[in-house]
Amino acid sequence: EQILALSDSRWYRPASTNLSALPLPASVNTAIQRVILGLDAHRPWVIKDPRMCLTAPFWLAAMEYPLVLICSRDAHAVAASLHARDNMPPEYAIALWEHYAVSLLKASYAQAKIHLRYEELIEQPTAVIEQIGAQLQAFGVDRLHTPSAAELHAYLQPAAVKPRKHAFPALTQEQLIIQSMLQGDTPIDINVEVSPASRELMARVIQGPPIG
């Protein structure tokens, strides 16, 4: 949140896809390095926070050997979840997904990475976990624990509950390409940008009252 505040952003109304261009206060940089140093004492480790799609450049810069695991989910499913949890308008939820996706794609462009589809993990957890484990080992990640089928079921069962679907706008051609990049089906384009329509929509909301 401190990093997002540098551009007067919040998780639900990010103001920029290029936070890395902002100067990072020494206190925040020190805090990041302290977190990474503590985690490095217990390698291998993983950290998950959706806001890292926006703040990843700062975290990646503090890591020695970062490996990005992109777990992509259908954009409409993400929007449905945001609508159900935060009462977020469907059009805005799609634009927010696009903003996060573009930020993540830019940050991970030059990084070692693995692509994972959320829907495949829910439908075929054992097979997907075995595949991810093999990919991690290929990148030199060792000392991994492979969860049992029972462990996977207990962990993933709550996530398998799908939010009620509402009427969501169809993805634009630009958004379909972005989704394909997230899934690893299309090479990431470093010049990918949030569409003008989504930028305009989010700018209107940022300037207006809080949503949700």
pLDDT tens track of the chain, all 212 residues?
888 888 888 899 887 656 777 788 899 999 999 999 999 999 999 999 999 999 999 999 999 999 999 999 999 999 999 999 999 999 999 999 999 999 999 999 999 999 999 999 999 999 999 999 999 999 999 989 889 989 988 888 776 666 555 678 899 999 999 999 999 999 999 999 999 999 999 888 765 544 54
- Measured in whole angstroms, the distance separating CA 57 from the mean position of its chain's CA atoms is 13
Report which secondary-structure segment, H or E, holds 112: strand 112-117
User: What pLDDT sits at residue 61?
Assistant: 92
Residue type, 195: S
Spatial CB neighbours of 83, under 8 Å, sequence gap ≥ 6: 89, 90, 93, 163, 166
What is the pTM for the complete model shown?
A: 0.90
